[in-house]
Amino acid sequence: MRNRRQFLGALVAAGAWPARAAAGKLRAGASTANITPQLGCSLAGGMTDRIGAEVHDELHVRSLVLDNGSAQLAIATVDSCAVPRSILDRAKELIQSHTGIPPSHVLISATHTHSAPPAGHLFQSVPDPKYTEWLTVKIADAVRLAVNRLEPARIGWAAGREDRLVFNRRYYMKPGAIPPDPFGRTTDQVQMNPPVGSPDIIKAAGPTDPEVGVLAVEAVDGRPLAVLGNYALHYVGGTGGGHISADYFAAWARAMGRLAGRRFVAILSNGCSGNINGVNFLGPRVQHPPYRQMERYADLLAVECYRVWRTIVFQDTVELAASVEELALGVRLPSAEDVAQARQTLAAAGLGPYKERSHIYARETVLLAEGYPRTAQTWVQALRIGSLGIATYPGEAFVEMGLEAKAQSPFRPTMLIELANDYRGYLPTVAAHALGGYETWRAKSSYLEKNAAPQIVASALRQLGSLA
């Protein structure tokens, strides 16, 4: 299955579109695979590249496989800023060839740590082909190992709430307080990450989603096998210089293990957090030592997840089903005039790497013009696990996209997992595009058509409705 037509054919043959949910005695398996790179690697997550000089904590793929005798589902998270479709499609091919689990029933998402090697070309961080080839295999290995460890199990799910850690990062500002964008325009009506405590801040430009989703799996003798958490927090950061780290996602996993007093696979997936982070911009500016805030946030979230976990009523029979749709979304390509201006800017700037935003975005403009088609093909997926619904978005989805899908989903609870099965940059709402701001600036990190978000949400809801 080396080309797209063969891959799509495999999806159809494997039942990629909604099928009747099946219920049966559950087996489950979970595993991890280490994907820590060599020192000297690039680190993605900023507009300029950084070099990995120290390993603070190792990177992993964390995987859970469920099997009820009639259907199998695999869920995996990858400690990476973002993983493109090319890698994940190939990993799913490997998974199917070794385990028989069809691509439609495999959900793979990135955690969004900003302290890991690039899996795709992110700003000025270029992926290492040797690492991405190895990463592809390791993703598949994690699922294969989980299949190897299938055993009779029980499962349950519930939702909690943690309000203290999430803040919208886009703000209305007083007139004249928003600086020009990288293209020299002064049309932005909101600012991303304004100075903390600035008197120019008026109010946040959007909501947050403090809901915490928890799916827990245990062996029939009561041993915990895996816990899948879901929370809409971009990442925390505050690492040491040049440190490789899985960020608070791994710190949460360690905290969950301490609370349970047992070894199991703890998996934290990222919710719709494209415009959400952990900084209280209305409060005073506080300097933290490296990792201090990350560990605190992980501990607080783990306490709530553990509390919810202890309320779950487990069952050994569960319905499992999956669905996937491929969407064709328009791309905001630069005009010939934009490209000419960008080339002129780069000619004056000289060879990179670049530090000034105008130069960085001029490079982005040229790369979009040279390498991107007018239409992007991407995946939206939905899973059913009993009365729990899970839907995915292929990029950094704005929190409103998660809130809308949860409100209209037929499942209670519903988890929304972003950066799943593909990476298509930021996914702002139509209203957010009108306001402007960093997440809307045209670049490899934000290039889909302005009407992409409602199409993606509609697909998720359509599939959740079919699975219900």
Residues of the chain with pLDDT under 70: 1-23
Q: Measured in whole angstroms, how far is the alpha carbon of residue 272 from the centre of its chain?
A: 8
Long-range contacts for 84-90 (Cβ within 8 Å, ≥24 apart)? 84/119, 84/120, 84/422, 84/423, 85/378, 85/379, 85/394, 85/421, 85/422, 85/423, 87/119, 87/120, 87/132, 87/135, 87/136, 87/139, 88/139, 88/421, 88/422, 89/7, 90/136
Could you read off the pLDDT of 158-188 as tens digits, one per residue?
999 999 999 999 999 999 999 999 999 999 9
Could you read off the pLDDT of 259-312 as tens digits, one per residue?
999 999 999 999 999 999 999 999 998 899 999 999 999 999 999 999 999 999
Identify the pLDDT of residue 285. 87
C-alpha–C-alpha distance, residues 143 and 134, integer Å: 15
Identify the pLDDT of residue 22. 62
Identify the pLDDT of residue 20. 43
C-alpha–C-alpha distance, residues 274 and 270, integer Å: 10
